[in-house]
Structure 1
Amino acid sequence: MIPEAGPKSSPPETPERLVPLDVDVSAARAALADVPWEPGAPKPDPILIADHVVRRFGGLTAVDVDHVEVQRGVITALIGPNGAGKTTLFNLLTNFDTPDEGRRTFNGEVIDKVPAHRIANHGMVRTFQLTKALSKMTVIENMKLGATGQKGEKLWRSLLPFTWSAQEKEIEQRADALLVHFKMDHMRDEFAGTLSGGQRKLLEMARALMVEPEMVMLDEPMAGVNPALTQSLLGHVTGLRDQGMTVLFVEHDMDMVQEISDWVIVMAEGKIIAEGPPASIGQNQAVVDAYLGSSHDSALDLDQEL
Structure 2
Amino acid sequence: MQAYVFPGQGAQFTGMGKELFEGNSQAKELFLEANDILGFDLSKIMFEGTDEELKQTNVTQPAVFLHSVIAALVAEDFKPDMVAGHSLGELSALVSNKTLTFQDGLMLVSKRAAAMQKACELNPSTMAAILGLEDKVVEDVCASIDEVVVAANYNCPGQLVISGSNKGIEIACEKLKEAGAKRALPLPVGGAFHSPLMEPARQELAEAIENTLFSKPICPVYQNVDALPHQDVNEIKSNLIAQLTAPVKWTQSVEKMIADGATDFIECGPGKVLQGLVKKIHREANVSAI
Larger relative contact order (CA 8 Å, sep ≥ 6): 1
Mark yes or no: TM-score above 0.5: no
TM-score (norm 2): 0.30
Larger radius of gyration: 1
| Structure having the larger proportion of residues in helix | 2
TM-score (norm 1): 0.29
| Structure having the larger proportion of residues in strand | 1
